[in-house]
Amino acid sequence: MIRPSEHLRADCSKVARAKYFQDGISSIEGVTSHISRSWKRCSDAGKDPSRSIGFDIVKRSRVSELAERNRVLIELARGEMERLASIVAGTKLITLLSDEFGTIIDIAGEIANASDRLKLAARRGVDLSEASAGTNAVGTTLIERTAVATVAYEHYFDANTTLTCVGVPLFGPDGMLAGVLDVSGDHDTTRPDCLELIRTSAQAIENRLVRNISGVALFSFSPREELLATPWEALLAFDPDGRLVGGNSRARTILAIEPRARNVQFEDLFESISFAEAVLDRGAPGRLRILRSVSGLRMMGQFETPSSKPSIKQHRPGTPGNTRLTKAGFQNTTLRCRCSGLSRVTAELLKRWNGCNAVCGVACLCCSRGRPVAARN
């Protein structure tokens, strides 16, 4: 499904497989570097490719635990999974979602006419990590941290060579792996390349994960204006002090932001404009700003209008869904006590942020009494 076509890849991988597993030729040609590295990992781990594997499912209690633990990811990905499943339904593919360990946590699409082998693999709670299932799109994607197609004979275990699957990694707002979006089906030499469809759906899911963070200002940008308001826009979330809270992988790639980067401010990423100035244009029509990254890239961007839609609560500690910056929390972290006063810029910033109609534009919780505070010139 990644070029070359599935038919050509299957032919090439069949030859490469025979040379590697039967003839003992260590130099692997005819498969991608992702596949060859995976074969070597599995071989070094002592896995027998002829061994029968049954895609054992985890205990029922564990399935329920996984569903609850990954509830936010499942709910936010569901719409894209169903949309993708409907698009590829004519190619006899289904959509799978795994967690960051390779365990299947959700499924979309019609599986009734699939082979028994695919039905075994496409079940909630099945462990598709490379350690368990050998070379496969889900498990190998998690290790390679990039999109991986595993066509027919590219699977490590003989029992899986009747399948074809493509996995695209999903990164959470903190830049860490959150799971894999996968499409799988029985091997079909006439099937078209669907990788870009899967990548687009994966990017849309990542964007939803970022937008699910509550109490933040969302900044969308791109070097190409036509990509704004599409799944391919770059997206960052900032707290009320202009500190980076999260972002999608597109933004992290463009700005070279490391996973779990700490204490990164808006001004550390963009030149010639402060966080306060940029937020003043929040949601204003036709007010896209031309910015430059600190590395010199020119791009267009704007802070988005706040959404009134509540975020989905995240139960896992330390993940974006637990980041609850309420209006009161915003004011407490940004405002100072009335004795120090507020600048007009700060007052206007907070007015835009909170939609407040107080005298100064700020419904301040100063001194914990909730009294409006007059802005200082």
| 97 three-class SS | strand
User: Could you read off the pLDDT of 166-178 as tens digits, one per residue?
Assistant: 999 999 999 999 9
Closest CA to 216 of 287, 322, 292: 322
The average confidence (pLDDT) of the chain is 81
pLDDT band at residue 353 using 50, 70 and 90 as cut-offs: very low
pLDDT band at residue 212 using 50, 70 and 90 as cut-offs: very high
Domain boundaries, the chain: 6-209, 213-303, 326-377
For the chain, the straight-line distance linking the first and the last C-alpha, in angstroms and rounded, comes to 62
**pLDDT at residue 21, as a whole number:** 86
The model's pTM = 0.80
- Evaluate if residue 19 carries a pLDDT over 90: no
- Residue 349 CA from chain centroid, whole number: 30
Peptide bond into 4 cis (omega under 30): yes
- Evaluate if residue 4 carries a pLDDT over 70: no
- Average pLDDT for 198-225: 96
Q: What single string gives the DSSP state of each residue in 116-136? A: HHHHHHSSTTBB--HHHH-S-
On whether the CB atoms of residues 257 and 248 are closer than 8 A, the answer is no
Closest CA to 352 of 277, 289, 269, 291: 277
Q: 33-47, 111-125, 207-221, 346-360: which range is least confident on average?
A: 346-360
User: Could you read off the pLDDT of 57-94 as tens digits, one per residue?
Assistant: 777 888 889 999 999 999 999 999 999 999 998 888 99
On whether the CB atoms of residues 161 and 152 are closer than 8 A, the answer is yes
Q: Which two tokens stand for residue 362?
A: 């700020």
On whether the CB atoms of residues 55 and 132 are closer than 8 A, the answer is no
The fraction of the chain above a pLDDT of 90, given in percent, is 59
CATH topology of domain 6-209: Beta-Lactamase (3.30.450)
**pLDDT at residue 220, as a whole number:** 95
- Average pLDDT for 247-265: 94
On whether the CB atoms of residues 171 and 177 are closer than 8 A, the answer is yes
pLDDT band at residue 20 using 50, 70 and 90 as cut-offs: confident
The contacts of residue 134 (CB under 8 Å, 6+ apart) are 38, 42, 47, 49, 53, 155, 156, 157, 160
- Average pLDDT for 113-129: 92
- Evaluate if residue 345 carries a pLDDT over 60: no
Q: Which two tokens stand for residue 190?
A: 């006439």
Which residue has tokens 């988005």?
304
**pLDDT at residue 26, as a whole number:** 66
